[in-house]
Homo-oligomer: A and B are copies of this chain.
Amino acid sequence: MRRIKLTVAYDGTNYCGWQVQPNGITIEETLNRALCALTGEKIAVIGASRTDAGVHAMGNVAVFDTESPIPPERFSYALNQKLPDDIVVVSSEDVPPDWHPRYRTVIKTYEYRILNARVPDPTRRLTRYFVSYHLNLQLMQKAAEYLVGEHDFVSFCNVRTNVEDTVRTIYSLDVLKNEDEIIIRIRGNGFLYNMVRIIVGTLIRVGRGFYTPEQVKEILDARNRKSAGVTAPPQGLMLMKIEYPDGEVQ
């Protein structure tokens, strides 16, 4: 039995998120079906990040165990023949049998993309959040500084399951401008449920002038979800990569 690690990119538009669920087709389930079709084995992948419906990825990570004689690096090619064209296996490789994509120290990088323009662009509607209001970039950048570091991010977490430990570390949080887009790039050792999208929703309120940058520190200190901004919609969010401590970059 060998363990294979996949790096997976997808357009999340047509899926009910990553995780298998009864009421709709998910990325995980689609990968499982392609692996079963390829190997003849009943395979269930273990994913690193359970992205929500409509959220995209350039480098999510999943592992599975197999008896198949297919060379590890060939899985990506073979799987792409069986997957729909909105899911792409970017690479595949052997890992040790006890290598687990979640129970390890990682650095995850997300990007959230805002189309900040006068009119919406229909060709970007599924991958950008359209905001027509003027957003003050400098204020957003100043507010972002308060969130960098180790903090209790419970104010930036929607309740889903009981997470006992809500302390996380954000290594960097950059607010960048690229033509008519504002890109919020966030690197951290893990993120609570909807945390990136609540941070984005809060930074947008700062950019519009509804919160001062200093109020973001108060929201953090309040340790209360009600104090933060609304959750930004999923389509602007993309999981860019997951870095593992042994130096591998996905």
The interface of chain A, by Cβ under 8 A from chain B, is: 9-11, 56, 58, 85-88, 90-91, 119-123, 125-127, 238
Contacts and interface: CB of A to CB of B under 8 A. Distances in A.
Contacts of A87: 122
Contacts of A127: 123
B58 A88 contact: no
A123 B90 CA distance: 13
A114 to B, nearest CB: 16
A120 B90 CA distance: 8
A86 B125 contact: yes
A101 B88 CA distance: 42
Contacts of A88: 119-122
Contact of A119 (B56, B90, B126, B238): B90
Contact of A123 (B91, B122, B238): B238
Contacts of A90: 119
Contacts of A85: 120, 122, 125
B56 A9 contact: no
26 contacts: A9-B119, A9-B121, A9-B122, A9-B123, A10-B123, A11-B122, A11-B125, A56-B122, A56-B123, A58-B121, A58-B123, A85-B120, A85-B122, A85-B125, A86-B122, A86-B125, A87-B122, A88-B119, A88-B120, A88-B121, A88-B122, A90-B119, A91-B119, A123-B126, A123-B127, A123-B238
A120 B84 CA distance: 12
